[in-house]
Amino acid sequence: MNRQIISFVVLMIAAQLSALRAATVTFSIDDIVVVSGVEYTVEVKASAAEPIVNFQFDLTLPANLSMVPEDGAPKLGTMTGDYQLAYCRRSNGSYRIIGYSLNNTAITGDGVLLTFKVKALETGKSTLTLSKVITASTRNFRVGFYSP
């Protein structure tokens, strides 16, 4: 009897871990080809298989792009509802971006997480990088993520 109970508990834990591993959140930014002196709006897209209630990541711009101040500051996208957004430029030149809901409103599905404007300093292909991505689910679990 005890052996059956232990086996059942082990199976339940394995099922929960498997479900948690399968529930992922993907943040992405498309590469862009830019012309010197021109401003571009960049979208950070999300695909959230598991509802998340906050996010944080670092954004690194390539040398040929600069963030446009004021009007170009990060703005919430279509999937963030009542979220608040905070960002700052770090000493290494990257931007730390944090989004959260005071009402614990969940983000789920596919859409635009946020947008921001950049200005091209040189013509060419630009690859923007997201790193140090952290999200939390509605169940207070850290959710898996993909950050190239």
Question: pLDDT of 64-96, one tens digit each?
Answer: 999 987 676 888 888 877 899 999 999 999 999
Does 2 have pLDDT greater than 60?
A: no
Q: H helices of the chain, where?
A: 2-22
**What local confidence, expressed as pLDDT, does residue 141 receive?**
56
Return the closest-CA partner of residue 27 out of 113, 105, 85, 116. Answer: 113
CA dihedral 86, 71, 148, 35 (to 10 degrees): -170
> Can you read off the two tokens belonging to residue 20?
């948690």
Is 90 exceeded by the pLDDT of residue 26?
Answer: no
Confidence bin at 1 (pLDDT 50/70/90): low
Query: What are the pLDDT digits (tens) for 42-70?
Result: 999 998 888 888 899 999 999 999 998 76
**pLDDT at position 15:** 43
Task: Check whether 112 has a pLDDT greater than 70.
Answer: yes
Average pLDDT over residues 95-113: 89
pLDDT interval class at 111 (50, 70, 90)? very high
Residue 114 pLDDT exceeds 50: yes
**Tokens encoding 98:** 């944090």
Q: Which tokens in the block code for residue 13?
A: 């834990």
What's the CA gap between 32 and 124, in Å, rounded? 8
The pLDDT of residue 18: 43
Q: How far apart are CA 1 and CA 123, in angstroms?
A: 71
Read off the amino acid at residue 18: S
- Tell me the average pLDDT of the chain: 80
